[in-house]
Each structure stands twice: as structure tokens, then as C-alpha cells.
Amino acid sequence: MNEVWARALRAGGYLLVAFASGLAVLVALPLTLAVVLTVPIGGLGFVLLPPWLGVVGRFAAWHQGRASDLLRVPVPELPGSGTPGFRALWREPSTRRVLLWMPVFTAVSMLAGLLGVAAVSLPVTSVQFPFWWALPEGMEFQFLGIPADGWGSALLLMAAQLVLGVVLLRWAVVPAAKAHARLNLRLLAPTEAELLAARVDELSRTRAEVVDAHGAELRRIERDLHDGTQARLVSIAMQLGVAREALAEDPRLAALLKNAHEGAEEAMTELREVIRGIYPPILADRGLAGALSALVARTTVTTRLDVGDLGTLPVAAETAAYFVVTEAVTNAVRHGAAEEIVVRLDRVGGVLRVSVRDDGAGGVDESRGTGVTGIRRRVAALDGTVRVESPVGGPTVVEVELPCGS
């Protein structure tokens, strides 16, 4: 029973605040209209409207939170756009929701709030009837038009008002408050499309962060292998070479040392290949443009390189671009019988564009392991796009776009 009355009192308090807020929004409605009208008149609204809508939006969000607490349901939240400009704010769906919410909230809050005011005030004000005798003649306490002009009517009206207030508080206030809260949440809740778009943006952001962290980790592993493991293997190989020469008189020991020496050198060769596959050291030393210049210089086919202003690139995008160019150039030389290759890189906003064009035989068949599949997988990991044009007879064009915004 105590829980029932606690819910009733809580709902009554909710409606009282809603009633007061409805009066406040009733005042704010013409002010909002006046601020909107200042947009075409002198352009003052471009300055006034964003902060005003921000205040109204925070007020609406507060009521959304109150409704959520009353119904004990979570409220889906959307990340802020971070663009407080007039155009961005005006285009926000949340702005249109708040503007629609204001008149509806006012009307519903006034009606439901009056019920809350009546339910809470009737039991409290019923205590006035026993003091009917203290009023001057001609003035009486009344309830439903019936005056209290004696002890009988006073006690009867007191009981009637008290019972009506208790009935309203017990059976009418809670449903009214819940209906008001549900309407509040429905008017201010983001749509499924907005939630899905926000989820996609969040996944894209976290995916980019994971890829960047992965690229940084690969660089760390490459440095550790290059500076640690490879250096130790070089030292071991040198010591084995010295020991091999010193014990050349003993054929058996010399053969063992020879095998160990050759095994260490083979391990170093394999380790260098692994390091280059993880993160090419030349990228760390010379950057993307320098690494591609070195690639072009050692290519046996005439290759032209055109690199625009790339700025600072994320490690993952830089590595992917290097491997894309390397694979495409290798394919053109080995499989396309190309005589000329043109490599272009430029950056437009937050997108790195890579293009490799060759005049070879064309006819690239991705199902036969031409390396394009590997390019697609590497680019897809960064949410990039790949376009390959390779008609029979050529030319072959591989175009890649990699997101590289901060």
C-alpha cells in the first residue's frame, strides 16, 4: 500500500512540474516565433536562434529525462553534431522535434497538470472548511458551488473534497502522468533511421581507431624485430662465420658450423621478408613519397610517379597505399607485359586517391590470383573502395580511395 501511494505522490509531483513547465513554454512560444521572425528581418536571428534553440533543447531534454525516470525506460541518445552553426542546427532533426514538441507539450501539460494540481490541492485545502465561522458574513468557503454556512455543511464539504482528492490522487494521477511521459518520449525520441545512422558513424569511428591502433602496433613490432631480433641474428651469423674459419681444420665441426651459419643467414632473409610484409622500413625512413620513389627507381619498366600534397597520413592509410602501388606495379610488370606505368597519388579532403595505370595486355582475371583480391581486402579493412578496369588489350587502371581524415 505504501508503494501505491508513493507512486501516486511521485506522479502528482511530476504533473505539478509539468503544469509549471507548460506555463513557461507557453511564454516561450511567442518568444521563439519572434526570434525566428528576426531571421529574414535584419538577419539578427542568425545570431539569436542557435543559442535560443540550445536553451529550449536542453529544457526539452530535461523533461525527456524526467519522463524516462517516471516510466523507468532508457532514452536513446544521439551524439552531438559539433556544428553549432545556424544552417547545421536548422537542418538537425532534433531541432524540428523540439519545435513540434513545444506547442503539444504546452497543451498536454496544462490539461494533465490541472489534474495534478487538483489531486494534490484538494486534500490540502479541505482543512479550510472547519474555519467557516471565522470568515466575515457574506463570504463562505465553497466546494462545487455549495457554500459552507454551518458545521454540518462544512464537515460534509470537507469530507467530499478530501475523498475526491484522494480518489484523483489514487486512481487518476498515475495514468495521466504516464500518458504525459509516454507522449513526451514519443515526441522527442530519435527515429530508427537516426539511430541507425548514429550507430554506423560510431562503428566507422571506432573501426578507424582500431585500424590506426593496429597500424601503430605493426610499426612497433617492425621496430622490435628490426632492432632486436634481426640484430641478434646478424651477430650470431658473424660469430658463426668467425668460428667456422677458426675451426676449418676439423671437417666435422666445420660442416656443423657451415650449416648453422647458412641457417642463420636464411633466417635473416626470411625475417627481412616478414618485416617488409608487416610494415616496410622504408616507409618509416622516407615516408610514402620517398618509398614510392625508391619503388619506381628499381622497377624495370618505365614508371612515372606523380605525388600531390598528401599532408600527414594515418599509418594504416600510408601502409595500404604503399602495398596497393607495389602490388599493382608488380602485376603490370610480371603479368601485363607493360612498357609504361603511371602512378598518381593525391589527397582531396579526407580521402587519399591512388591510381596505377599501365599500357599492358589487360584482361585482369581476379579469380586467377592476380593480386587484385589482396588489394581489395587490404583496402576494405580501411573502409575504402577499389575500381579496376582492365579490358583485353589494355590499358589496366587500378583506382583506390582510402579514407584518411582525422
Taking the alpha carbons of 105, 108, 110, 115 in that order, is the dihedral positive or negative? Answer: negative
Contact (Cβ atoms closer than 8 angstroms) between residue 190 and residue 94? yes
Beta strand 302-307 with 340-348: parallel, antiparallel or unpaired? parallel
Under DSSP, the state recorded for 314 is P
Taking the alpha carbons of 85, 87, 93, 97 in that order, is the dihedral positive or negative? Answer: positive
Could you read off the pLDDT of 52-106 as tens digits, one per residue?
Answer: 888 888 899 999 999 999 998 888 776 554 445 666 666 778 888 888 999 999 9
Contact (Cβ atoms closer than 8 angstroms) between residue 129 and residue 155? yes
pLDDT of residue 236: 73
Run of H or E including 402: strand 396-403
Could you read off the pLDDT of 391-400 as tens digits, one per residue?
Answer: 888 789 999 9
Alpha-carbon distance of 336 to 319, in angstroms, equals 24
Residue recorded with cell 618505365: 302
Q: What is the DSSP string of 146-188?
A: EE--SHHHHHHHHHHHHHHHHHIIIIIHHHHHHHHHHHHHHHH
- Collapsed DSSP state (helix, strand, coil) of residue 389: strand
pLDDT of residue 82: 47
Alpha-carbon distance of 349 to 377, in angstroms, equals 23
Q: Amino acid identity, residue 255?
A: A
> pLDDT by residue for the chain (406 residues), tens digit each?
578 888 888 999 999 999 999 999 999 999 888 887 777 776 676 777 788 888 888 899 999 999 999 998 888 776 554 445 666 666 778 888 888 999 999 999 999 999 988 888 888 888 887 786 667 776 777 777 777 777 877 788 778 888 888 888 888 999 999 999 999 999 998 888 777 777 777 766 766 666 666 666 666 666 666 666 667 767 777 776 777 676 666 677 767 667 777 777 777 776 666 655 556 777 777 888 888 998 888 888 889 999 888 888 887 888 889 889 988 998 888 877 888 999 999 998 889 999 999 988 888 877 766 678 888 888 887 888 999 998 888 789 999 999 886 5
Contact (Cβ atoms closer than 8 angstroms) between residue 244 and residue 254? yes
Alpha-carbon distance of 343 to 355, in angstroms, equals 6
Alpha-carbon distance of 364 to 370, in angstroms, equals 7
Q: Amino acid identity, residue 328?
A: A
